[in-house]
Each structure stands twice: as C-alpha cells, then as structure tokens.
Structure 1
Amino acid sequence: MNLKNNLVMGIITKTYGVKGWVKIYSYTTPICNIIDYSRLWILEIKGKNIYFKVKHIYLVNRFILVQLNGIKTREKAKAIIGSLIKLPNKILPKLPKGEYYWYQLEKLNVFNKEKKYIGKVNYIFVTGANDVLVVNNKKNSKEYLLPTSVINNVDIIKGIIIVN
C-alpha cells in the first residue's frame, strides 16, 4: 500500500474505559461516515505509520468509540492518543464527472477567468450556504475566501482551478 496516498480521516482523542477503547474525532462529513470505511486503519504514531485492524466501532451520541486489535488496556490506549487515523484514498467511492473530494482541491493553484493568479488553496471549510476555499497568495501576503459556487473549472491534472 502506498503510504503517500493516505487520507487523514480523524484523530484519536482520549481513552474510554479500561479495556483499550478510545474515542475518536472523525473529519468525515457526517462524522459517522468513518464507520463505513475500511476496517484497516493506519495510525500515525510519533511520525510512523502503523497498521491496526478495527475490532469494534460504534457511534454513541455525538462521538465514536473504537476498539483496535492489539490495544487491550487503558495504558496501551493512552499511548495512541493524538494519533492521526489514515485510510488509503482508493477506498473512496468514485465521484461523478465535475465533482471532487476536498483533498483533491487542496494545494491547487487558483486563477480568475483572465488568467490572473489568485493563490493556492490552503484548505476548505463549510459554512451554512457554501463550502469555502481558503486561498493564500504568498506573493502579496493575502488570503482570499472564495465560495465554491464561484468555481468555473477544475483541472486536477494541470493542478488549477478557474473561478469567476
């Protein structure tokens, strides 16, 4: 498995009980989507990627409880707190033409229709009305917030987004 093509799907936040269970914070939308993905997780622990099989995973109220194979005590669970949960991006379903996952848009260069450089997508966040691209321009030290509704064209191969 190519470790360079992994998506960060969440983070282990704290222990739960004495039998190695942990609480996680999911970066998926909605948060329960992480339950439907692969049962083989890659945890980034102190800069190293280590594979763990998910033994049990449950949505309880507004948080997710997980028990991983090999983590049977509270002490072992404490050792993985703060670990990023990664999954290979190939597990994601294919999207229809013209739709993209956020990770595909991050780091792309953004231009307006007149081919003027605006900046590079740093990250994306959700508002009530639109998802918003946070675009940084290092040349003029400016940050732009662009709703995804202004996207005219995306070319993943060329690494560019054209906006109105």
Structure 2
Amino acid sequence: MTDRVCVGAIAGSFGVRGEVRLKSFCAEPEAIGDYAPLFTEDGSRSFTARISRPVKGGFAVRLSGVATKEQADALKGTRLFADRAALPELADDEYYHADLIGMEVLDTGGRSLGHVHAVHDHGAGDLLEIHGPGLKSTVLLPFTNAAVPTVDLGARRIIADPPEGLFSDD
C-alpha cells in the first residue's frame, strides 16, 4: 500500500483567472478539498484546493499557487494525491483502487490467474483488469462479492471465483 492515494485529476483551466477544472475520484466528490494538501504524483508540488462551484465534468477549483490561466493550463493532466492518513477510514468490504493494483489474483483452487493491472469504473460497478503470462488478452473481472469473495490486503492477494469461461482455459 502506498502512503498517498490518487483523489483527482486536473482536466485543464477554467476561465481566465487561474481556476482549474478538477475531476474528483472521491466517493463524496465535493470532499476532495478536505484532504489537502494535494500532491502531484512525484510529490514535487502541493496545493490546497477551494471549490468555487460545480461545473460539467467536475468542479471549478482555486489551487494555491495558481493565479493565471497559463499556470492552470500547464497543470492539465496532472493527477492529485492525498496522504492516506487524511482520508476517511473504509468499511471492511471497501478498498482504495490504489491498494488493489499489483495484487496477485488466484482462483479458488490456488492457481494464479494474473495480477491486477488497473481498476475501472464505468458506472455499473468496478472491473478488475487482470494481466497474466498465461492470458491471451486482458481479462476484466467484475469486482463483486460473487466473483471476488476474498481480498487479503496483508498478503497482497485476491481470491477470485470468476464466471465460467472468463479465463481462457476454464
């Protein structure tokens, strides 16, 4: 597990006074400013964030140290991270996507299916993107209690009971 978790991304500037359009990845999107300071991925910069108003696709946000449209434009694509300690405690059956990435995925018989490469949320529930040496292509495993009955953060492994035929040699 990492000390910081990605909580948002800057989609570009908003207006001409240095505000940015910020996409929040938080369960409560408007809470992103509560987790400040927010850091760039390499940790070289940090910001406080004050939400001005909701806008299409996120929020118009004033970041500390960003005063011009040009400075805001330069941050486009920047992912923002918060210290894990600043984030709320999760329920037993909830996980930060960052904690799942890289975990080994085993079937209920102990056979390795691969590793979690990414976690996707397209609105109907999370999907684990599994890559592995025995896979002909990427597999998207539904992240449901039925398909993923066990997540062991300490051992960094996931036990999966995938739908029949999802992995090529089932």
Rounded to whole Å, the distance in 2 between the matches of 1:66 and 1:81 is: 13
SS in 2 for 1:34: helix
| 2:150 aligned partner, one-letter code | N
Aligned pair partner of 1:158 in 155, 158, 161? 155
1:105 aligns with 2:105: no
Offset at residue 24 of structure 1 (A) = 1.6
Runs (5+) with no aligned partner, structure 1: none
Report the alpha carbon displacement of residue 159 of structure 1 after superposing the two structures with TM: 0.9
The superposition leaves residues 17-53 of structure 1 with CA deviations (integer Å, 9 ceiling, x where unpaired) of 2221111222334643424x32322134xx5620122
- Give the match's secondary structure for 1:42: strand
**Pairing of 1:1-150 with structure 2 (within 5 A):** 5-29=3-27, 31-35=29-33, 37-44=34-41, 49-54=44-49, 56-62=50-56, 63-127=58-122, 129-149=124-144, 150=147
Number of aligned residue pairs: give it. 157
Which one has a larger percent strand, Structure 1 or Structure 2?
Answer: 1
Report the TM-score when normalising by structure 2.
Answer: 0.78
Secondary structure of the structure 1 residue equivalent to 2:35: coil
Cα distance change on mapping 1:154 and 1:27 into 2, 3 Å:
same
- Report the counterpart of residue 166 of structure 2 in structure 1: none
Query: AA paired with 2:16?
Result: V
Cα deviations across residues 49-77 of structure 1 (Å, max 9, x unaligned)? 201222x2134243311112222222322
Calculate percent identity across the aligned residue pairs: 25
In terms of mean alpha carbon deviation, does 130-139 or 21-30 score higher?
A: 21-30
What do you get for the CA RMSD once the two structures are aligned? 2.2
**Secondary structure of residue in 1 paired with 2:85:** helix
The DSSP-based 3-state class of the residue aligned with 2:141 is: strand
8 Å Cα contact 1:28-1:34 kept in structure 2:
yes
Asked whether the 8 Å contact 2:36–2:82 carries over to 1, the reply is no
